[in-house]
Amino acid sequence: MNRNLRLLAVLLLLVGPRLTAAEAPKDPAALIEASRQTVLMAGARIDYRFDLVSASGSKRLRRVSSLFRTDAGGDTTRLARYEYPEDARGLATLLAEHRSRDNELWVYVPAVKKTRRLVADNERDSFLGTVLSNGDVLGYKTAQWTHVANGEEVIDGRPCWRILSTPGSEAVKRASGYSRRETWIAQDTSVVLQMSAWDEADRPLKTIHYRDLKPVAEQAGKWLPYRIEADNLAGGGSTLIAVERFEFVAKVDDEALLPSSLADEP
């Protein structure tokens, strides 16, 4: 090999094609957990607008204020309180996901001035009347599902990993209402851009798009979708959730996220 050929071989080794961190394949479960972590901020107050469209085409508007926290152990808690319409004002829910014990779900109904605890593991129930379920909002425990890579696809101009997740047990299947989920995870940021779900009979159930994602300036590596679009593929209807106000909260007081606080006026 002459001198020029040897030099070319060295250059190819140095600058030739190589996998970047985004391009390198990863463990699917690790990808799912990384995507889950991108939205778990230390704390935040968020005002949402919900545009609900029924299968018949009728429309409803709701406004909800939310207080969110992730504690040092990784448990997440979300308090959501209706602000509009007036006849639902004060209705509140408290969703808590615990990594090492059963989840909790509490509801306060102002008409009867009572707070009651609902079935904690019933993730399939609608979140405040939307197409999203409680599980879609809180997230799913990564270890309770089996995750496999399902190729790549570009979503909204961004290359994504596609991960197919199936319940690890019949109990998880019943609680979630899903026979499988597919998640599109952006390769550059690990944020979820899209999720599709199939019901227990393996029929298409819903698709959720996460759009207008913005980084949380106060906490590196965290992102917030300012627009969530969800379509019910089985019964019809759709939900648009838009962020109207966001405030990062570095530390949320424990008292603000107790079941007893649901009856308090904000």
Higher pLDDT, 24 or 78: 78
Domain ranges of the chain: 21-247
Per-residue confidence band for 97, with pLDDT thresholds at 50, 70 and 90 = confident
Distance CA 175, CA 158 (A): 32
The predicted pLDDT at position 134 comes to 86
Among 101, 83, 100, 102, which residue's Cα sits nearest to residue 92? Answer: 83
How many Å separate Cα 10 from the centre of its chain? 46
Give residue-wise pLDDT tens across range 153-212. Answer: 999 999 999 999 999 999 999 999 999 999 999 999 999 999 999 999 999 999 999 999
CATH of 21-247, one of 2.50.20.10, 3.40.50.2300, 3.30.43.10, 2.60.120.10: 2.50.20.10
The predicted pLDDT at position 119 comes to 64
Q: Which CA distances in Å does 168 have to 110, 137, 144, 173, 175?
A: 38, 20, 5, 8, 12
pTM (predicted TM-score) = 0.85
All residues at 6 or more sequence positions from 27 whose CB lies less than 8 Å from its CB, including other chains: none
Contact 77, 95 (CB under 8 A): yes
DSSP reduced 3-state for 94: strand
